[in-house]
Amino acid sequence: MRHVTDLPREVTEITDQGIILSDGCRLSARVWMPKDAPLDPVPAILEYIPYRKRDGTLPRDELMHPYFAGHGYAAVRVDMRGNGDSEGLMADEYTAQELSDACEVIAWLAAQPWCSGKVGMMGKSWGGFNCLQTAALRPPALKAVVTVCSTTDRFADDIHFKGGCLLGENLGWGAVMLSYSSRPPDPMLRNDWRDDWIRRLENEPFLSPLWASHQSRDVYWKHGSICEDYSAIEAPVLSIGGWADNYMNTVSHLVSNLSVPAKGIVGPWVHQYPHTAVPGPQIGFLQEALRWWDRWLKDIPNGAEDDPAYRAYLLDSAPPDANAGDRPGVWLAEQDWPSKRTSAATLHLTDGGLAPEAGPLSRTVSTPQHLGMHTGEFFPMGRNAEMPGDQRPDDALSVCFDTAPFEAPLALLGAPEIALDLTTDSPRAFLAARLCDVAPDGSSVRICHGVLNLAHRDSMEHPSDPTPGAPLNIRLILDQTGYRLAAGHRLRLALSTTYWPYVWPSAEAATLALSSGQLTLPVHPGAEADEWAFPPAEAARPANLLTLREEAASRSIDHDLITGTHRLIVANDEGATENLDHGLCNAESSHEVWSIQSDDPLSARVDIVWNQELWRGAWRVATEASASMWADKQMLHMQAKIIAKEGDHEVFVREFKDSVARNHL
């Protein structure tokens, strides 16, 4: 990535711009803008998230926002209510209050003398979610959106549930937010930092039980799910995703359903902005965003509305690598989406494997509870073995259907689909499906996957337990993919009734009996060379940080031969840094243990601990947030604890204990 220091317009910065909301709550913003903006007003670009602009997202903020400012925009990074240096309290994610605050901030920006009156909104993950949700409220000044790694459906495609299955990360994300939101404002900016900190701690929610209690697509999840009414969005949308992330479906949903100008880009990336993300190739995301802003915020006729509807990186076969720095492939440019170049090809599940013709099928699926240890993280952030590795260990525990080796490459672009006729011996069961690329040496790479709680086979809103022994016809749409198998490779469909720790286990072990099945593939002709060329990645100068402690990470799987317990152990030390501009130091670390016994779904347990530290001179604070989850047949049990210290003194302790009834899980 090239760092640009000579920008077209000189940039000035406001480190703590107060934005007073209608209820008197003061939000803290960091603003970069052209020095001459008061004389030559510019559009504003808002990024509005809870992840702390003073330390949390500062390294990435300084790569992006000064760059936008230097190209003629006011880039505004706002800490949400109850986070970072902003006042107030945060009750949950994507609340009506959060979105109302966003609309007020947009109106405030549009009214500033340095603003032209037009505002764009951007963000990744939480910020990608809420910029779409805010756009659906149609604040008058909001004229364009750039959303990265986001969702249109909070029940179907977020970190809580997938296919009606409860994700392990529902507990993990609750632990993250308990830790992230427990930190105080910076005393350099807030004289009342301590009182505000204690208020936050006293009101800090442990959200995992709340999320887990909504086990169907009810009104809770419909709020903020823009798929409820795509027509509500009137601002043009640029949507970006990555094949190594779990929000890869959103780009297709937006481009297919929005009536306003909408363009999509999907690369090989993890859950990061694509000018910094792995695996490469990285692209000039900031230039792409500027092209979008220039067209819709400055009315520059640059043809952005005529770009291909969907630009996707077609991954080529490569050896499995959970730490991949780059992936071979080519860029496809689809003028229309869904692509007119794809065609459906059907393979049949038979006792002999995946075949072009139907044949007998009498396989049963009942897999060990520890299957899934090699699936990686829900949203990988980097190269700490967070991407799916070699799938052979999980394949060996699954029921697999293979094709013969392909004589020529096979390219796929879209969402594969499975149709199955089956019975279950349990009213509580789910099916996990992985589509894999099997090389001649036997190594297996996950192409895409999907899960389905059989209680949700007909409706995500109104689930019903299947009757044991009764015939079921199910349809499982796998995640979107762009992938080309090399000649000589085989395609594998791996089925399982378990997928730990990605999915929380069913209340009892289940056996599925298959009687017929089809796999429908979105076959694409592929391309010999790139059909689109992106500008190279560039950004503003890096943040002025001094490394005090290097990052370190470990990820291991162990099997206790005495107890039979299988454990996934993940430890991440994000290191420690000092901001040489204002002196704030911060450090962060986490430790997770996901354990289960192969023959007992009720043995599943997760224990997570997060530690945060902030200091400057003699001032030092620290928090420890821990969370655990286990279950019996009737209930999901969760507990958490937060400890806060000022210096060496413990100033706050709070414990949470909750149990949630299992409905169709």
pLDDT digits (tens, 9 = 90+) for 588-605: 999 999 999 999 999 999
Structurally, how many domains does the chain consist of? 3
Q: Are residues 258 and 365 in the same domain?
A: no
Find the mean pLDDT for residues 45-49.
98
Q: Are residues 443 and 350 in the same domain?
A: yes
Let me know whether 309 and 358 are in one domain.
Answer: no
Non-local (6+) Cβ contacts of 109 within 8 A are 44, 46, 74, 76, 115, 119, 141
- Do both 160 and 228 map to the same domain? yes
Phi/psi of residue 411, each to 5°? -105, 140
DSSP string, 234-270: -S-EEEEEETTSS-TTHHHHHHHH-SS-EEEEEES--
Residue 536 in any domain: the answer is no
Does the structure show a pLDDT above 90 at 163?
yes
For residue 332, tell me if it sits in a domain. Answer: no
Residue identified by tokens 């016994």 is 597
Looking at every residue in the chain, the average pLDDT score rounds to 98
Mean pLDDT of 464-489: 98
Domain annotation covers residue 205: no
Give a yes or no: residue 374 inside a domain.
Answer: yes
Residue-level length of the chain: 665
- Element holding 589 (H helix, E strand): strand 585-597
- 187 in any annotated domain: no
Average the pLDDT over 110-134 and give the result.
Answer: 98
Query: Do 549 and 519 belong to one domain?
Result: no
Are residues 376 and 498 located together in one domain of the fold?
A: yes
Q: Which domain holds residue 415?
A: 343-524
Last residue of a domain, one of 524, 559, 576: 524
Residue 443 sits in the same domain as residue 555: no
CATH number of the domain within which 395 lies:
2.60.120.260
* Domain co-membership, 377 together with 408: yes
Which CATH number characterizes residue 99's domain? 3.40.50.1820
How confident is the model over 157-169, as a mean pLDDT? 97
pLDDT tens digits, one per residue of 230-260: 999 999 999 999 999 999 999 999 999 999 9
Q: How far apart are CA 100 and CA 137, in angstroms?
A: 9
Residue 534 inside a domain? The answer is no
What is the rounded distance in angstroms from the CA atom of residue 114 to the CA atom of residue 525?
Answer: 50
Task: Write the DSSP string, 335-353.
Answer: SSSS-TT-EEEEEEEETTE
Q: Is pTM beyond 0.85 here?
A: yes
Confidence of residue 336 (pLDDT cuts 50, 70, 90): very high
Residues 421 and 552 in one domain: no
Say whether pLDDT at 523 is over 90.
Answer: yes
Nearest CA among 58, 63, 32 for reference residue 46 = 32
Report pLDDT digits (tens) over 402-451: 999 999 999 999 999 999 999 999 999 999 999 999 999 999 999 999 99
What percent of the chain stands above pLDDT 70?
A: 100
Crossing angle for the helix pair 285-297 and 58-70, to the nearest 10 degrees: 50
Residue 329 lies in a domain: no
How many Å apart are CA 571 and CA 551, to the nearest integer?
11
Query: 527: number of CA atoms within 13 Å, CB side?
Result: 20
Number of H helices, E strands in the chain: 10, 34
Which of 293, 313, 333 is the C-terminal boundary of a domain?
A: 313
pLDDT tops 90 at residue 661: yes
Q: What is the DSSP string of 370-403?
A: TTTTTS--SS--SSSS-S----HHHHHHSEEEEP
Task: Clarify whether residues 485 and 558 are in a common domain.
Answer: no
pLDDT digits (tens, 9 = 90+) for 67-95: 999 999 999 999 999 999 999 999 999 99
Residue 383 has pLDDT above 90, yes or no: no
Amino acid at residue number 385:
A
For residue 654, being part of any structural domain is answered with yes
Pairwise CA distance, residues 196 & 217, whole Å: 35
* Closest to 76 (Cα-Cα) out of 3, 139, 127, 150: 127
- Assess whether 583 and 628 both reside in one domain: yes
Same domain, 412 and 560: no
What was the pLDDT predicted at 148?
A: 98
**Pick from 476, 473, 469, 434: which is nearest to 453 by CA?**
476
Question: What count of other Cβ atoms lies within 10 Å of the Cβ of residue 229?
Answer: 9
